Structure 1
Amino acid sequence: MNNRDFSDHVVVITGASGGVGAAAAEELARRGASVVLAARRAGPLGEVARRCGNQVHSVVADVTKRAEVQRVFDEAVAKFGRVDIWINNVGRGIGRPLLEITDDDVDAMIRDNMKSALYGMQVVTPHLQARGTGAIVNVSSLLGRTPIPSRAAYAASKSAMMSLSEAFRIELSGSHPGIRVVVVYPGRIATDFGQNALGQSTADSGKLPAEVLAAIGGATQTAEEVAHVLCDAALSGRGDIYTQPNAFARVREYMEKQWD
Structure 2
Amino acid sequence: MTAVIIGASSGLGKGVAQQLAEEGANVVIGARRTHLIKELAKEIGPSAVAVTTDISKEADVKRIHDAALEKFGKIDVWINMAGVGLIGSYTELPVEDMKRLLDINVFGTMVGSQYALRQFKTQKSGILINVGSVAAKVPFPYYATYSTSKFAVSGLSYGLQREMEVERYEDIHVCTVHPWATDTPWFDHSGHRAQMKPMDEPKSVIEATIGLIDTPQESVEVGVKTKGSTISESLLPGLTEKFNANHVKNVIEEAPVSSNTPGSLHEPMENDTEVSAGWKTRLKMDE
- Structure 2 unaligned spans of 5+: 240-287
Q: 1:191 aligns with which of 170, 184, 189?
A: 184
> Is the counterpart of residue 120 in structure 1 residue 112 in structure 2?
yes
Distance 1:116 1:158 in 2: 12
8 Å contact kept, 2:127–2:216: no
User: Which runs of structure 2 are paired with 1:88-237 in the superposition (5 Å)?
Assistant: 88-175=80-167, 176-198=169-191, 200-201=192-193, 203-206=194-197, 219-237=198-216
Matching residue's letter, 1:43: H
SS for the counterpart of 2:236 is helix
Instruction: Describe the SS at the equivalent of 2:146.
Output: helix
Question: Per the alignment, do residues 246 and 149 of structure 1 end up closer, same or farther by CA in structure 2, a change over 3 Å counting?
Answer: closer
Question: Which residue pairs with 1:209 in the alignment?
Answer: none
Which residue in 1 is equivalent to 2:247? Answer: none
Give how far 1:246 is off.
Answer: 6.2
Deviation at 1:259, TM superposition (A): 5.6
**How many residues were matched structurally?**
238
Q: Cα distance 1:104–1:193, how it changes in 2: closer, same or farther (>3 A)? A: same
Aligned equivalents of 1:240 and 1:192: distance in 2? 24
**Please, which of 204, 225, 230 is the counterpart of residue 251 of structure 1?**
230
TM-score by structure 2 length?
0.78
Deviations 1:59-86 (A, max 9, x none): 0121110111011100000000010110
> Partners in 2 of 1:90 and 1:69 — Cα distance?
12
User: CA offsets per residue over residues 15-65 of structure 1, 9 Å max, x none?
Assistant: 001011111000000111111000110121122222323211110121110
Task: Note if contact 2:138-2:233 (Cα within 8 Å) is conserved in structure 1.
Answer: yes
Q: Is the 8 A contact 1:46 1:58 kept in 2?
A: yes
Matched, 1:44 2:23: no
> What is the rounded CA distance, in whole Å, between the counterparts of 2:49 and 2:61 in structure 1?
15
**Structure having the larger proportion of residues in strand:** 1
TM-score (norm 1): 0.86
Aligned to 2:76: 84
Residues 105, 153 of structure 1: 8 Å contact kept: no
How far the C-alpha of 1:101 sits from its partner, in A, is 3.0
SS of corresponding position for 1:190: coil
Q: Are the aligned partners of 1:88 and 1:139 in contact in 2 as well (CA < 8 Å)? A: yes
Counterpart-to-counterpart distance in 2, 1:205 and 1:127: 37
Asked if 2 retains the 8 angstrom alpha-carbon contact of 1:101 and 1:153, the reply is no
- Report the Cα offset of residue 127 of structure 1: 1.2
Shift of 1:204: 3.2
Contact 1:11 1:87 in 2 (8 A): yes
Q: Which runs of 5+ in 1 are unaligned?
A: 1-8, 207-218
Q: Indicate the SS of the match to 2:196.
A: helix
Structure 1 segments, 4+ long, off by >6 Å, are: none
The aligned counterpart of 2:265 is none
